[in-house]
Chain A
Amino acid sequence: MLEVRAFEPDFLRRLDRLALAIKRARSGRVGQRTLGRIQGIGIELENFKSYAEGDDLRFLDWNAMARLDDLLIRTYRATRQVEVTILIDASASMGVPKTDDKLGFALLLGSALAYMGMGESDAVRIVTFAMRRGAMQLARTGFYSRRELYPDLKPFVLGVRPEGITQLAAMTDQLLLERRAPGLLVLISDFLVDPADYENALTRLAAARHEIKAIHVMGDHESSGNFSAGMLRLRDSESGTIREVAMTADSADRYRRRVETMAQRLRDFCQRHAITYVRAFGAASVDQVITREFPRLGVVV
């Protein structure tokens, strides 16, 4: 139940100095989501410039002209409101192994990012997804843009249970049907799917002009491959498929190599598609991930 920490004051206090990094504007509509620092209609004075033909005379600074006898146009910082969607994988694989509490770890990271986004008055929502009973189910919160509303997320966050199958492409289909303006998408998952699935999903999201940050979570035991020696009967948490393996030292090495290979492939794909990739292996490293890895990788500033 790591997600409980997301609402602890001490934890939130350490997040106050962090903000989500947003690299580029995706929309020019006034009053709507823009990314980046652009001029536009706003309430916050940014600078003055000499009048040029075509400038909106409503922004002419009449006082300055009276004192300086020069035509100066006031420029304002445009009103920026970015929709931040934090997608959290809530499939059954996120609940296994239980000791790792991967889902709690993912919810903790997602909540922290949401808190940081709210601090910048960005519209933030949390969406969990999993394929359940043959249909992709997305559980969404509303958009919250004020930090004081952050506690309202608590019931949602604490109510998430791991269940169903991970299908990122199907999740993308559902998400794009919303036809939302491009924004920031933070995808938190173990990415234990066919690479074609996440590649399809991420490609399509990027094509929709969303800025994507992929956070790859795995548990301590899961990533280190600590299993009992001997004959093991393994059951896939999502498909229920059973397979027997002879767990030996060599098998454990093969397992660990497999984990690294999958993570490397995901990272390479993300790099090729300008997607920020964060490797968050082990819930014990949550503070390090938030305060060091997120800034280093440009997730937060």
Chain B
Amino acid sequence: MGLLSPFNLVWLFGSLAVLVLIYLRARARTTIDVSSLMLFEEIGAPVVQRRMFRLDALFWLEAAALSALSLALAGLYLTVLRPIELHRTHAMVFDLGAAMGAREGNQSRLDHARSEALAIVSRAPADTRFSIIGYALGARVIHAETSDRAVIRSALMSLEAAAVAPRPAALKAALIRAREATAIDLFTDRAPASSMVADALDPARLKLHLVGAPAENIAIVSLAPGTPGIRQGHCVVRSFAQHAVRAVLTIESDRGERLTAPIVIEPDEEAVVPFGPLAHGGLVHAQLTAPDDALAADNQRWAYVAPGDSKTRALVLSADAAVRDDLSRILLGINQNLTVAAFDPAQYRASANDSYALVVMHNCYLPGLHAPAILLIFPPAPGEAGITVRGTIAGVELHNQSRREAAAEPLSFAQVREVALGPQDGILAQSVAAAGRPAIPLAAIGTYRDERVGLIAFDVRDRLLLNPDDLDALLLTVHLIKRLTAPQSLEVVATGAYVTIPTTGAVTVIDPNRHEEKLSADRSGHAGFTALSAGRYRVTTPAGETSVYANYFNEDESNLSAGPETVPAADTAARPGHQSLPMTMGMESLEVWLVAIAILALLAESILLTGEWWRRRIPRYV
């Protein structure tokens, strides 16, 4: 407690002196000169005892009013312990993973989180600055710090859940971005690991808001369209519900084929629904319809199967017999309708009647071969088909963006061609940049003289593609072959994938939620976007329209039965409120309270005086 202006205490004492003088003056009897006291002999003596001070309620009320005003003038304040800049900056971190889009009644988990956040914004002091950070694949500052409530509310309303599983690294990055704030609120349906939170910031400053209740969900895990005319396709459906669920699975292709299969799936089980074989192939769409299904993103899936027949031929050229064998198996695995011819390039003699849908050349290049799709694997120098080979590098590590396990063994290639791509080529994979060496493309796809040309820069000898420990290489190769043989106007990707579109001009992307986005080509002639929603993206380029179908399934994220987890002990201790925030001694001015006390005292005094006047009602003169 102290005074901001001790000099003003003079006013206090002066006011009290004035009070005493006024009081004495008021108490002083009126002295009247009379001609003779004989005239008053019959009037009795006053019954009221005469006192200089009458310490009645009026005196104390007047004293209280004057004292309060004087202390207010002197600037009386209290010294209080308060957190430094308590709640002055407030970061709200939102989990924007797929599970946050799970519906509970008419609202999603994200809607519940949004409601809590709006309540926090409404309760906060006017000068509190809010920032909003979202995370899923990565962390993103949706709105920087501002105290404009309308902007904050607008930003909160704009939040949408993505059809991807939130990455722990994204959460950590989001918390790191929020750690400058004095208060941090995390809205999620799953409690983060305490250790990860502790790495990012002081857990005591984090207030965890767990939203959502256990919900039922069934999802399409995979869709294998089979081989047209040869092999059945099948669709795998998994239940994350706590009881048996009836659903209807509809599978249809863009060639008019349709299958509707009602299924009953037990809790925590998978159902494999066979269909086909398809007669024509093409784009296959599976749609799962179930009542009370909380998550819609994993209820549909797309797959493309080449509409081939037995006349479709592929040529594999490699000096290594093992490589020829591996590649042939892979091609047949991708499309059993293919007729694969494998040759040593030194022995291959091209004829005019040879027509191939796909030519795969490993460590060789025959310029006379033409096909709609050509795959060059570990191309030799100096390179052809728009590719320039600069040299060979040993010990190159694959940069796998989708790898979650940081501790997983990275895939290294013994030999990799360092190539220079054409401007229209899209890179599907590249190496990890090392000291003194930038990342180099490991897999790419492009167009050369109206032919689609694919590139795999690493050597696939030594059974690389069929080695179970090097599965990423096989997946990358299969993906590239599928891309290479698929129509250019159609692409099926997983949500979270970065989709690149070769273009020479502006690109318009309309996502499944009908949001339109304008993209422009970069210097390499590509425009790209990340498919965060499950469904069809319509990409319009000057060359035409391309459809990108994004499939979503994540086992952890689709399992909604667990509901919000128990908050870890460390977080629970931190929840009640910022005890460990740095504290400082602050001044709490009491002026408003003092003035209020003075006003109340004066009001009470007026009421007392009015009451006394009403009670006595004695005429002024007698």
Residues of A within 8 A of B (CB): 93-94, 96-97, 102, 190, 192, 222, 225-239, 241-249, 251-252, 254-255, 257-259, 262
Contacts and interface: CB of A to CB of B under 8 A. Distances in A.
- Tell me if B's interface is mostly helix, strand, loop or mixed: loop
Nearest to A249: B622
A45 B223 CA distance: 169
A235 B43 contact: no
A233 B43 CA distance: 13
Contacts of B347: none
Interface residues of B, number: 26
A237 to B, nearest CB: 5
A93 B48 CA distance: 29
B437 interface: no
B40 A255 contact: yes
Given A226-B621, A229-B620, A246-B47, A96 B42 contact: no
B622 A244 contact: no
B46 A257 contact: no
B42 A255 contact: yes
Contacts of B40: 234, 243, 245, 255, 258
Contacts of A257: 42
A229 B43 CA distance: 13
Nearest to A194: B38
Given A232-B30, A249-B622, A238 B36 contact: yes
Contact of A228 (B30, B34, B42): B30
Nearest to A93: B35
A102 B33 CA distance: 14
B41 interface: yes
28 contacts: A96-B33, A96-B35, A97-B33, A97-B35, A222-B39, A226-B622, A227-B32, A227-B621, A227-B622, A231-B48, A231-B50, A234-B34, A235-B34, A236-B34, A237-B33, A237-B36, A239-B37, A242-B31, A243-B37, A244-B45, A244-B50, A245-B40, A245-B44, A247-B622, A254-B43, A255-B40, A257-B42, A258-B42
Nearest to A244: B46
A73 B38 CA distance: 62
A192 B45 contact: no
A228 B621 contact: yes
B41 to A, nearest CB: 6
Given A237-B33, A237-B36, A258-B40, A246 B622 contact: no
A231 B618 CA distance: 13
A192 B39 CA distance: 8
A190 B29 contact: no
B619 interface: yes
A234 B30 CA distance: 8
Contacts of B38: 192, 258, 262
Interface string B36-73: 11111111111110100000000000000000000000
Contact of B34 (A230, A237, A251): A237
A266 B83 CA distance: 91
A225 B39 CA distance: 10
A258 B622 CA distance: 15
Most chain B CB within 10 A, of A227, A234, A249, is at A234
Contact of B43 (A222, A241, A245): A245
Given A96-B34, A247-B622, 18 more contacts: A96-B33, A96-B35, A222-B39, A228-B622, A229-B622, A231-B48, A232-B32, A233-B30, A236-B36, A237-B35, A243-B40, A244-B46, A246-B43, A246-B47, A249-B622, A252-B622, A258-B40, A258-B42
A225 B618 CA distance: 16
Contacts of B32: 227-228, 232-235
A27 B47 CA distance: 60
Contact of B622 (A190, A234, A239, A251): A251
B612 to A, nearest CB: 13
Contacts of B39: 192, 222, 255, 258-259, 262
Contacts of B30: 228, 230-233
Given A227-B621, A251-B622, A255-B42, A192 B29 contact: no
Contacts of B42: 254-255, 257-258
Contacts of B620: 228-229
A80 B29 CA distance: 58
Pick the 9 closest A-B CB pairs, nearest first. A192-B36, A233-B29, A93-B35, A252-B622, A246-B46, A233-B31, A254-B42, A96-B35, A251-B43
Contacts of A249: 618-619, 622
Contacts of B36: 93, 190, 192, 236-238
A87 to B, nearest CB: 18
Given A93-B35, A227-B32, A233-B30, A255 B43 contact: yes
A285 B73 CA distance: 60
B34 A190 contact: no
B33 A235 contact: yes
B198 to A, nearest CB: 79
Contacts of A242: 31
B621 A229 contact: yes
Contact of A222 (B35, B45, B50, B621): B35
Nearest to B36: A192
A230 B34 CA distance: 16
B37 A234 contact: yes
A87 B427 CA distance: 139
A241 B619 contact: no
Contacts of A246: 43-48
B29 to A, nearest CB: 4
A266 B108 CA distance: 109
A255 to B, nearest CB: 6
B36 to A, nearest CB: 4
A242 B45 CA distance: 12
A244 B35 contact: no
Contacts of A247: 43, 622
A249 B622 CA distance: 5
Contacts of B46: 231, 244-246
A241 B41 CA distance: 13
B35 A245 contact: no
A198 to B, nearest CB: 12
Contacts of A254: 42-43
A66 B36 CA distance: 73
Contacts of A230: 30, 618
A235 B33 CA distance: 5
Contacts of B31: 233-235, 242
B197 to A, nearest CB: 78
Nearest to B37: A236
Contacts of A252: 622
Nearest to B50: A244
A57 B494 CA distance: 175
A93 B33 CA distance: 9
Most chain A CB within 10 A, of B32, B48, B620, B622, is at B622
A223 B619 CA distance: 19
B558 to A, nearest CB: 91
Contacts of A238: 35-36
Interface in B1-48: 29-48
A147 B48 CA distance: 59
Contacts of A251: 43-44, 622
Interface in B595-622: 618-622
Contacts of B37: 234, 236, 239, 241, 243
Nearest to B31: A233
Contacts of B50: 231, 244
A245 B34 CA distance: 12
A157 to B, nearest CB: 21
Most chain A CB within 10 A, of B31, B34, B41, B45, is at B34
A195 to B, nearest CB: 10
Nearest to B35: A93
Interface in B563-622: 618-622
Most chain A CB within 10 A, of B29, B48, B50, B619, is at B29
Interface in B77-122: none
Contacts of B41: 258
Contacts of A255: 39-40, 42-43
